[in-house]
Structure formats: C-alpha cells, structure tokens
C-alpha cells in the first residue's frame, strides 16, 4: 500500500544522501536528480529494505570510486566515456530498473518482484566493484569471449581480482538484504542471499559479454588507442570501431541489470518458498 509518510521521508532522505554524493563529487547535478528519483521510488514505493539496499550500493560504489583514485585516473581518462561523477543517464542505468520494479511492487507486492530488484542491485553493485577494483589489477585482463589479453579498462576484459569483486559485491547486497529483512520484517529468507549472489554474478557476466561483443567501441586516430569516448581527451573526434553505435556503457549496464533481475526472480520462483 502507498504510505504518504514513507514516501515523504524517502524523498527527504534521497535529497540528503544524493546531496552528500553531489558534494563529495560522486554525482553531477543531474545525477543527484536521478538519485532522488531512484531513492524515493525504491524506499517510498518498495519499502525500507529496498531503500537500504540502494544506499548500500550507492555508498560502497562511491567509496570504491574514490579509493586509490590516482592509480585509476590514467585508465579512466583514456578509456571510459565518463568520469566517476555519475550523471542522470548513469543513475538511471544503475537504478532505473529498481525504480520501475518498486512501482510495480507498490501495486502487487509479490516477493519475486523484490527478488528481481535484488538481482538488479546485486548486478550494478558487482559491476561497479569489479570495475573499480579490477582496474587496479597488476595482471592484464583477458577478454571474456576469446581469452585474448587486453589493456586495463577494456570493456569485456576480466581479471581474477575483478571476478572476486563481483562475487563480493553480489554477496554484500544479499547479506545486507537478509539483515535488513531480519531487522525490519523479522522473516528473512536464505533464498535472498542466493538470489543476489547468482543474479549479481549472472548479470555481471552478461555485462562483460555485451562489453566484449556488442558494446560500441571507438578509436582515436591521433593517439591510436581504443576508447569509449566520442571526443578523446586529446581533443580528437574518435571513429566508430566496432559494436552497435547506440549501445554505450549505460545501455550495457541497464540491460545486464535486467539479466541479473531475471535470474534472481527465477531463483525465487523456483525455490523461494522451499528454503524461505
């Protein structure tokens, strides 16, 4: 049921926490707006457990982005289309599906819808952790499709360290969900942890696969390097190299989060009741 007080409180918290992210350079102004939309929908329409999980994603991802920033700056400037300061499109790519599921949940509060949101949040958390931690790997990443060695920051490149971060990120969302359910609702289900772990891992796998195959990749003719940027940091306009031109990193994140959500929801529907 819609609870006006919870909705108002959710809006207030989202403005505050998003504002903190803006002030700490984790969000742009439009990213702040995106965080307000996602946070208000998640906690206000889904419930406090949903809201807590969005905060866990946001806080851990922002902290990891800031962690050892200097070491990652070179890769980020060269390869990634955007900086670590998230804008509207990035917040929607990460949280848009959660907001949509929360809206659905407000009308039909089915546990599998919560499980889907869990899979989405586990995926975006795992992805962000893997990117932030994997970028620091001392061993060269390998392309998930061919195993060919690629340079750090290449979409679809995976490392053992990044894989570890993927599992840790998924588990963190699962355990946080379990604890939040236990504290607030008093009836946690172990399936929660399993759904987050498998959903997040599957979603991240989809992210790497899409990154290695269909994601748009560009090339700077001046520096002779691959990049996701339309204008390279040297100022040169880049050329389309491979992949679907419209499928940028934000779309890959959104699509892979849907894969993670579908896997987590399926796990709930298959075994949710039996070990709940």
Least distance from C-beta 226 to Zn ion, angstroms? Answer: 11
Footprint of Zn ion on residues 148-207 (CB under 5 A)?
none
Task: Compare residues 12 and 221 and give the one whose CB is closer to Zn ion.
Answer: 221
Check residue 137 for interaction with Zn ion (CB under 5 A).
no
Task: Compare residues 29 and 231 and give the one whose CB is closer to Zn ion.
Answer: 231
Check residue 236 for interaction with Zn ion (CB under 5 A).
yes
Stretch that binds Zn ion, among 28-36, 81-89, 169-177, 224-232 (CB under 5 A): 224-232
Binding Zn ion (rule: CB under 5 A), the pick from 183, 234, 270, 276 is: 234
Pair 53, 31: CB distance under 8 Å:
no
Binding Zn ion (rule: CB under 5 A), the pick from 24, 139, 222, 240 is: 222
Task: Compare residues 72 and 232 and give the one whose CB is closer to Zn ion.
Answer: 232
Check residue 223 for interaction with Zn ion (CB under 5 A).
yes
Pair 250, 173: CB distance under 8 Å:
no
Stretch that binds Zn ion, among 99-107, 139-147, 163-171, 212-220 (CB under 5 A): 212-220
Stretch that binds Zn ion, among 16-24, 99-107, 201-209, 233-241 (CB under 5 A): 233-241
Please state, in angstroms and rounded to a whole number, the distance separating the CA atoms of residues 38 and 32: 10
Least distance from C-beta 223 to Zn ion, angstroms? Answer: 3
Q: Work out whether the CA dihedral 253, 217, 26, 11 comes out positive or negative.
A: negative
Single out the residue of 170, 175, 179, 190 nearest to residue 263, CA to CA: 170
Stretch that binds Zn ion, among 41-49, 93-101, 195-203, 221-229 (CB under 5 A): 221-229
Binding Zn ion (rule: CB under 5 A), the pick from 10, 28, 232, 258 is: 232
3-state SS assignment for residue 244: strand
Which distant-in-sequence residues (6+ apart) come within 8 Å of 235 by Cβ? none
Which distant-in-sequence residues (6+ apart) come within 8 Å of 274 by Cβ? none
Check residue 237 for interaction with Zn ion (CB under 5 A).
no
Check residue 220 for interaction with Zn ion (CB under 5 A).
yes
Least distance from C-beta 112 to Zn ion, angstroms? Answer: 47
Please state, in angstroms and rounded to a whole number, the distance separating the CA atoms of residues 268 and 192: 8
Alpha carbon separation from 172 to 48, 200, 276 (Å, rounded): 17, 10, 19
Least distance from C-beta 155 to Zn ion, angstroms? Answer: 18
Phi, psi of 28 (to 5 degrees): -85, 180
Single out the residue of 222, 169, 179, 176 nearest to residue 200, CA to CA: 169
In the numeric block, the tokens 């790519």 are attached to: 93
Q: Could you list the residues that contact Zn ion (CB under 5 A)?
A: 220, 222-223, 232, 234, 236
């Amino acid at each position: 049921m819609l609870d006006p007080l919870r909705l108002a409180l959710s809006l207030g918290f989202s403005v505050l926490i998003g504002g903190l992210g803006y002030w700490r350079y984790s969000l742009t102004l439009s990213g702040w707006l995106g965080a307000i939309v996602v946070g208000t929908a998640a906690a206000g329409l889904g419930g406090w457990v949903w809201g807590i999980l969005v905060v866990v994603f946001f806080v851990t991802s922002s902290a990891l982005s800031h962690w050892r920033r200097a070491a990652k700056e070179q890769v980020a400037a060269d390869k990634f289309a955007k900086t670590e300061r998230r804008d509207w499109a990035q917040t929607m790519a990460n949280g848009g599906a959660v907001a949509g599921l929360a809206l659905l949940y407000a009308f039909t509060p089915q546990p599998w819808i919560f499980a889907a949101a869990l899979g989405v949040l586990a995926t975006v958390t795992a992805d962000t952790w893997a990117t932030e931690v994997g970028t620091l790997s001392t061993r060269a990443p390998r392309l998930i499709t061919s195993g060919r060695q690629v340079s750090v920051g290449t979409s679809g490149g995976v490392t053992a360290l990044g894989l570890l971060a993927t599992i840790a990120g998924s588990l963190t969302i699962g355990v946080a969900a379990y604890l939040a359910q236990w504290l607030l609702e008093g009836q946690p289900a172990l399936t929660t942890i399993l759904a987050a772990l498998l959903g997040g891992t599957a979603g991240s796998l989809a992210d790497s696969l899409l990154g290695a195959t269909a994601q748009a990749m560009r090339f700077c003719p001046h520096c002779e390097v691959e990049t996701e940027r339309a204008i390279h940091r040297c100022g040169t306009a880049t050329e389309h190299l491979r992949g679907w031109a419209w499928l940028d990193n934000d779309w890959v994140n959104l699509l892979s989060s849907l894969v993670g959500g579908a896997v987590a929801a399926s796990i709930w529907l298959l075994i949710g009741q039996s070990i709940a």
